[in-house]
């Protein structure tokens, strides 16, 4: 199964380091970040899980829940978590799915035979409160994920869901944004963007971030 943007994230029931997870119910009205790892006790993933734990307050401020996945069983997860806490100087504060039966991996197409026919690739999904997939990204095994970029994307998605804007290249929260081309009426422009805007080209209009 290939998951595309706008698809409803597949629901599932699976054991985890924090007990049984009914995914959609667990998400509730929160955003979700689901990210997979090839196996327990892998070095790059150890750093990723530790950094995710340190982002607890950043995720909470954005109404985001994080959940990881590995194909190893729960007992192995608990031992790995001890290592993560020790080496990354943190406390893992989110569940790690124990996908030893590959159920979730198959739902989310996390087994790529050309990479490895038994271990999951390192994919990440951002899921909105309507359970729609809003971002998918797959990293090579040798490259750790950039979680600052994940936060940036969430900021952009949450902003653009509420205002008729898009975010330009390398945008970060607080910077100018782009007015969508569909808005041409001057009265609507003034109403929506009372701080004004700068027209670089008729199709490229920059305005201060509306919710700042």
Active site residues: 45
Would you list the DSSP string of 150-201?
HHHHHHHHHHHHHSSEE--TT--TTS-EEEPTT---HHHHHHH-TT--EEEE
Sheet with 96-98: list strands edge to edge.
Answer: 96-98, 64-70, 31-36, 122-127, 133-139
Q: What is the DSSP letter of 129?
A: T
Give the Cβ contact number of residue 203 at 10 Å: 9
**Torsion (CA) 129, 63, 87, 122 in degrees, nearest 10:** 20
Residue 105 C-beta-side C-alpha neighbours within 13 Å: 25
Alpha carbon of residue 88 to chain centroid? 21
Through-space distance between the first and last CA atoms of the chain, rounded to whole angstroms: 40
- For 69, the token pair is 């996945």
Residue pointed to by tokens 């080496």 = 87
């Amino acid at each position: 199964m290939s998951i595309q943007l706008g698809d409803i994230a597949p629901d599932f029931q699976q054991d985890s380091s924090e007990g049984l997870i009914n995914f959609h119910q667990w998400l509730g009205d929160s955003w979700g970040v689901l990210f997979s790892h090839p196996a327990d006790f892998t070095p790059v993933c150890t750093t990723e899980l530790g950094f995710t734990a340190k982002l607890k307050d950043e995720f909470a401020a954005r109404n985001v829940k994080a959940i990881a996945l590995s194909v190893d069983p729960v007992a192995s997860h608990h031992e790995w978590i001890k290592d993560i806490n020790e080496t990354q100087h943190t406390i893992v504060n989110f569940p790690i799915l124990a996908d030893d039966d590959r159920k979730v991996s198959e739902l989310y197409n996390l087994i790529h035979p050309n990479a490895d026919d038994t271990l999951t690739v390192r994919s990440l999904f951002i899921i909105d409160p309507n359970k729609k997939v809003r971002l998918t990204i797959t990293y090579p095994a040798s490259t750790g994920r950039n979680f600052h970029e994940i936060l940036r994307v969430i900021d952009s998605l949450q902003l653009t869901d509420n205002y008729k804007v898009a975010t330009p290249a390398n945008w970060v929260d607080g910077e100018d944004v782009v007015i969508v081309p569909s808005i041409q009426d001057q009265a609507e422009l003034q109403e929506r963007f009372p701080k004004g805007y700068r027209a670089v080209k008729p199709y490229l209009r920059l305005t201060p971030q509306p919710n700042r």
